[in-house]
Amino acid sequence: MDIAEELKHAMQHLPFITGELPGVGGAIKVSPDHFEVEEILPYAPCGEGEHVFITLRRKLWNTDEVAGELRRCFGLKSIDIGWGGRKDKHALTTQTFSLLLPLSVTIAEIRSRLAGLPFEILDVARHRNKIKTGHVAGNRFRILLSQVPPQRLAQARAICDALGRSGLPNFFGEQRFGIDMNNIERAVQFLDRQRAARGKKEAFIVSVLQSALFNLWLRERMARGEYRTILSGDVVQKTDTGGLFIVRDVDEAAERFSRGAIVYTGPIYGVKMMCAEALAAEYENRTLDAVGLDLDAFKRLKSPGTRRRALLHIEDLTIECAPGGLLFSFSLPSGAYATMVMREFMRAP
């Protein structure tokens, strides 16, 4: 089995953390209106500057398509438009874009031009800086899980309680890997070319490979029964400040982990990634070995890498009966996938 096929197989067989409980079935995204996502920026526009923040609501448009419409509307170059992250096309999405527009263009003029676009414009305001990739604090979701009878509400809440105790494995969702996971094949083909990534599209393809490897690493950790265990050499993150450090006193770190003060992180392999040590490093290297890779591959790609927290505690998850199914409401930090929350309830393959 080649690298691409091995990674695709692993992505199709990710474990459930609440697998001992019965799922509720159902279907998501029967309609885009059933999957609402609202982007949360880490700051509000200050009201002055050459970048215009446009907050809009749309459905059946992906992020690139919306950016293209905005670019054509104002005659801009691609580099003049910014956004924090990509959003699902088959959803009712609220998202903010930044446009580089001279101060001579008034807000009234901007609103007038936007009126011709097929989006609901919610806010237009100026700011000093462009929105760059990653400038998102999180996302709020309202998801209708259709085709679920109301008597399964108790089952859903039992899963919710279990997630509250265990946390959610922070896997990358299947949409990261494209239709039939073809993005994984593209990523491996790009790796074989042995050249650095240039531009947003190539950087995204590299990130697909990194995401699959993270999932593979976390899958293997769960298979070893170490999902709720701190290891010697783990790179952990403080949940209050986000600071990273390496575990050398396992007992002390385990106590902090048990009360939610820290969480262990997994590798987004790259040249600037903070590396684990001791036993944790052995497992991270073993993940690369399993697919015939090493860190030198990411040096050739000039991919910086980073760390990703391995589990999430969702503090505001609520479930209630609604016409047509069960309504889920919750927030997630940037980079986490609502579909990975919902699969714990649905148990769909």
DSSP code for 62 = -
Of 33, 64, 88, 251, which one is the catalytic site residue?
Answer: 88
Site of tokens 């209050």 = 240
CA dihedral 277, 283, 289, 290 (to 10 degrees): -170
Q: How far is CA 201 from the centre of its chain?
A: 17
Query: Where does 167-198 have alpha helices with state H?
Result: 182-192
Which stretches does DSSP call E strand in 9-130? 35-40, 51-59, 81-83, 92-100, 120-127
Enumerate residues 6+ apart whose C-beta is below 8 A from 11.
174, 177, 181, 184, 212, 215
Amino acid present at 203? A
Q: How far is it, in rounded angstroms, from Cα 140 to Cα 123?
A: 18
Q: How far is it, in rounded angstroms, from Cα 349 to Cα 344?
A: 11
Contact criterion met (CB below 8 Å) for 62 and 68 = no
Q: What are phi and psi of 224, to 5 degrees?
A: -80, -5
Enumerate residues 6+ apart whose C-beta is below 8 A from 312.
167, 168, 170, 332, 333, 336
Q: Which residue(s) pair with 56 in the sheet?
A: 95, 121
Q: How far is it, in rounded angstroms, from Cα 299 to Cα 296?
A: 5
Q: Angle of helix 63-74 relative to helix 107-114, nearest 10 degrees?
A: 120
What is residue 126's three-state secondary structure?
A: strand
DSSP code for 93 = E
Identify whether 251 is a catalytic site residue. no
10, two tokens: 């692993």
The closest of 137, 126, 113, 112 to 43, measured between CA atoms, is 137
Active site amino acids: 88
